[in-house]
Amino acid sequence: MESKDNSNEKLSTIPDTRQSMNYCEREKLKSFAYSCERLGDTESLVCALIMITHWFRQSKKCQFNEFASQWTKAQKDIEKFGKSTKAMQDTWPLSGKPKMKKGKCYYRDHQN
């Protein structure tokens, strides 16, 4: 008897968003990647890639640098999959009021 894995069915019904980076955001990300490579910081590269995948799945369009600054703040001191590193926090410091709950990955206004 075949077993069907339907775990991705729910995720596949989420509509695609049209996230995109502007020139400055792309250059900042490339600079971050080159710096991590020079320092041998594969942990930060992996964590940044995870952050980018979460940015792509946001239900509404948001600027990458804004999302990254919110993500690094929300994931600071989280010791699990999807955490932020010091290198990420230095590159994308929080630039406004928090819009992401600690340990969460959805960008939205919230009350503390």
The answer to whether residue 10 is domain-embedded is no
Domain extent for 48: 22-112
Question: What confidence tens digit (pLDDT) does each residue in 16-29 have?
Answer: 777 999 999 999 99
The answer to whether residue 17 is domain-embedded is no
The answer to whether residue 69 is domain-embedded is yes
Residue 32, CA distances (Å) to 56, 84, 85 in order: 19, 13, 12
Tally of domains in the chain: 1
Question: What confidence tens digit (pLDDT) does each residue in 74-97 have?
Answer: 888 777 656 788 999 999 999 788
The answer to whether residue 13 is domain-embedded is no
pTM beyond 0.85: the answer is no
CA end-to-end span of the chain, whole Å?
50
User: What tokens were used for 7?
Assistant: 């775990």
The answer to whether residue 39 is domain-embedded is yes
